[in-house]
Structure 1
Amino acid sequence: MAQAQKGICAEANLHAQYLMFNVIDDDAQVIRAKLAHILNVFEHYDEEHYEAMVSGVIAIGSSYWSELYPGLLPLELAPFPDMQCEDRNAPVTPCDIFIQIRADRADVCFAIGCEVCELLKGHVELFEEIKGFRYLDGRDLMGFVHANGNPKGMRKFDVAIVGDEDPDFRGGSYVHVQRYRSNIGSWQRLPLKQQEDIMGRSKEDNEPLSAEDIAPYAHTKRSAAEDICGKPIELLEQSMPYGDMSTKGLLFVSLANSPKPFTSMLTSMIFGDQNGNYDKLLDYTFAETGAAFFAPSLTFIKANKDL
């Protein structure tokens, strides 16, 4: 039976290292072997520093997949859904390989990242690295608890991991990544009541606003993906804040057994409902990157390293 990568459904951590690579080597065989070796790096650090709760995810960009694994294609693999409406947009960033490293120790994340980059040196170009961190009690830098609606327990596996609907890629996951930059100054100048209306939740205790009080443009309403019948469809978020004294934002990471939940969510946020009620949070935070990936199972990566 296919075994999913540990990082797909791992519990939240205190620190993360996100690495974005583009491949500059035509030798796909070398890349496949290197990726399989990176799994061993994750396992080594997980065993050596078990208290740090190490986990990792290797995901392959939608446009690079066929070059890396020719003839083997996940059923629903698709490019990142490029969207734009007025001044709201979801730009596309070409990216061949996304590697997520998470742990409860920043030094362990750093050490793993160094080994990964050394392994891939000469074969890829690292064009972006982001250090994520847990902020206070799981809040984003706008001060609200983030990913409150994430599935819990074993439900995470049902939501995030491909099952029997695509037998060749059982144990894999569709991954979408966006880097958001937030205008914290403008946000902090808003009255608390207005912030809560935009988020759809109370700031202090994270309670949802009542059905009669929640605005149609609230983030919690607009980011709640639904299928064509209006039934909620879920995805698993592993987003974390990032930043320094000059730049602040959120590295958004979603995982699901299909790309449809993410596309539905993004459409609702950017285009809004039939009355034009888009996600008002997008007036204060802006997507600067976006990429779509597939994270194959451990079994698949190891079995195809010598393809």
Structure 2
Amino acid sequence: MSGKNWDRVPIDAQSVDAPLSSSAVFLVVTVGGDQAALSKAASVLGELDDLVKNVGFRDLSGRLSCIAGIGRDLWDRLGLDRRPQELKPFAPIKGSVHTAPSTAGDLLFHIRAERADMCFEFERMLLDNLGASVTVVDEVEGFRYFDARDLLGFVDGTANPTGLDLPAAALVGDEDGDFAGGSYVVVQKYLHDMNAWKETPTHLQEEIIGRTKIDNIEIDDDDAPRKSHKSLATITDADGNEFDILRDNMPFGRPGKQEFGTYFIGYSRYLWVIEKMLQRMYIGDPPGAYDRLLDFSTPHTGTTFFAPARPTLQKLVEAAQEKLAVDR
């Protein structure tokens, strides 16, 4: 959905609008509670662009990028006076059958490139720079699977906004001017029961997803007794206006460990849009008619962040460093 006056938002966002990549690393860390750890984390955040350049220059066609998101708790611990209007910790959702857990995370680093070695090298250098100031709580290496399919065999991200619709859906506008150009980010790591999914007939899989499996055609299920994943994840307001989010989900897995999953990452102009989407999935619409995909895919993490625009991030880093220096 296009928001009014979005054209006044600075375009110098972090690389939220970067093309979908063939490789990615999703890194979530917590930051130590002492002043030294907080200062170190703030310093590294301020140097991210330089690190991207240093690694990315080795192969410009690799299109290396990194988006940094800050969690609510760390935001407050850095002593920042203002925060994005909707930023808050991920709230667990308990449905009648399935639960979306809330897990720890102060910083998210969404690292993307066309080469897995560039993601690896950037992450290695990033963690070297952060040192003992952080603890890694989740690290997932994602890959693009054939024609942008998930490991369940369906094309993922078809409904992503494009062109001018992308920033209007994913970046904060003048409704929160201090943080215009930033984005709310929600991440969840899902593990799939592939054996149970394989035993499910294709036509039932398509009813659950809301699209055909081979040619990715949307299925009209308005009159169906149970809404599909596609329909439950479609958010509209009281006037019928549809609100999109930007998904950069990626498959991951270790066949030797029988681990197969999808890393969900959603960027949104409004946090409430993703919250409502998840409520519809876990609680159901009507209540009890939850997303049947959850019978096969189980979330193991759930964390919310805010990824400020580049100029805003630099100002936040400077303010945090000044605050921490005074408090020493």
Q: TM-score, normalised by structure 1?
A: 0.95
Map of 1:140 onto structure 2 = 150
RMSD of aligned Cα (Å): 1.7
2:265 is the counterpart of 1:253: yes
Once the two structures are TM-superposed, the CA of residue 230 in structure 1 deviates from its matched residue by: 4.0
Query: Is this contact kept in 2: 1:138–1:145, CA < 8 A?
Result: yes
Query: Is this contact kept in 1: 2:14–2:308, CA < 8 A?
Result: no
98-107 or 270-279, larger mean C-alpha shift: 270-279
Query: Is this contact kept in 2: 1:142–1:187, CA < 8 A?
Result: yes
Q: TM-score, normalised by structure 2?
A: 0.89
Once the two structures are TM-superposed, the CA of residue 39 in structure 1 deviates from its matched residue by: 2.3
Q: Structure 1 residues 81, 302: closer, same or farther in 2, change over 3 A?
A: same
2-structure distance, mates of 1:200, 1:283: 15
2:167 is the counterpart of 1:157: yes
Amino acid at match of 2:26: Y
Query: Is this contact kept in 2: 1:5–1:56, CA < 8 A?
Result: no
Query: Is this contact kept in 1: 2:250–2:263, CA < 8 A?
Result: yes
Map of 2:301 onto structure 1 = 289
178-187 or 48-57, larger mean C-alpha shift: 48-57
2:136 is the counterpart of 1:105: no
2-structure distance, mates of 1:89, 1:81: 11
Map of 1:305 onto structure 2 = 317
Equivalent pairs counted in the alignment come to: 307
Structure in which a larger fraction of residues adopt helix: 2
Q: Equivalent pairs: percent with the same residue?
A: 32
Map of 2:23 onto structure 1 = 15
4-13 or 223-232, larger mean C-alpha shift: 223-232
* Secondary structure in 1 matching 2:317: coil
Q: Structure 1 residues 193, 120: closer, same or farther in 2, change over 3 A?
A: same
* Secondary structure in 2 matching 1:148: coil
Query: Is this contact kept in 1: 2:166–2:246, CA < 8 A?
Result: yes
* Secondary structure in 2 matching 1:48: coil
Match for residue 54 of structure 1 among 59, 64, 79: 64
2:245 is the counterpart of 1:235: yes
2-structure distance, mates of 1:5, 1:56: 12
2:30 is the counterpart of 1:42: no
* Secondary structure in 1 matching 2:47: helix
2:68 is the counterpart of 1:66: no
Query: Is this contact kept in 1: 2:14–2:307, CA < 8 A?
Result: no
213-222 or 142-151, larger mean C-alpha shift: 213-222
* Secondary structure in 1 matching 2:87: coil
Query: Is this contact kept in 1: 2:251–2:262, CA < 8 A?
Result: yes
Q: Structure 1 residues 264, 275: closer, same or farther in 2, change over 3 A?
A: closer
Uncovered stretches (5+) of structure 2, i.e. residues with no partner: 1-8, 320-328
2-structure distance, mates of 1:56, 1:236: 16
Match for residue 139 of structure 2 among 129, 141, 146: 129
Amino acid at match of 2:272: K
Query: Is this contact kept in 2: 1:31–1:123, CA < 8 A?
Result: yes
2:233 is the counterpart of 1:209: no
2-structure distance, mates of 1:110, 1:71: 35
Once the two structures are TM-superposed, the CA of residue 9 in structure 1 deviates from its matched residue by: 1.2
Once the two structures are TM-superposed, the CA of residue 2 in structure 1 deviates from its matched residue by: 4.4
1-structure distance, mates of 2:201, 2:267: 34
Query: Is this contact kept in 2: 1:4–1:161, CA < 8 A?
Result: no
* Secondary structure in 2 matching 1:19: strand
